[in-house]
Amino acid sequence: MSALTLADARTIIAAAEKRADEIGQPVNIAVVDAGGNLIAHVRQDGAWIGSIDISISKAWTSRAFDIQTKDLGDNSQPTQQFFGIHTTNGGKVAIFAGGVPVTVDGVVVGAVGVSGGSGEQDQTVAEAGAAALA
């Protein structure tokens, strides 16, 4: 697979929505391609509108740096190597849990970003989505 398709994005979103429903937390789910471009976004009923842009930023960040945003966040705290990274790229960099790269055969082909719950909730939903193509 060289590129995520809309069908792939829908598969990722369906798996993420299933997990969000299981934990009872409505969220926003965004899927970006290898270039960080938005393929698809879903705002579940009851999910915060303020989390729309955050979910997209988490997906973009995860792909831009090929890292889970929770790990980037851990490394961007004061005294850590990436402190201040969230101020780069026009402020688009998200440094909290919920962004996960999507890999196929060891190659990053895009990312999923989730926002609307706690960091732990966003992370588990994003991981479920990313695992859908594995």
Q: What is the pLDDT of residues 112-123, one digit of tens each?
A: 999 999 999 999
Which ranges of the chain have pLDDT less than 50? Answer: none
- Domains of the chain with CATH codes: 6-131 (3.30.450.150)
| Strand partners for 114 | 29
At residue 28, the pLDDT reads: 98
At residue 1, the pLDDT reads: 63
* CA 35 – CA 19 distance, rounded (Å): 26
Percent of the chain with pLDDT over 70: 99
Dihedrals phi, psi of 36, to nearest 5 degrees = 80, 10
At residue 108, the pLDDT reads: 95
Residues 56-80 as b or e (16 or more Cβ within 10 Å = b) = bbbbbbbbbbebbbbbbbeebeeee
List, in sequence order, the alpha helices (H) in the chain. Answer: 6-23, 51-65, 69-74, 119-131
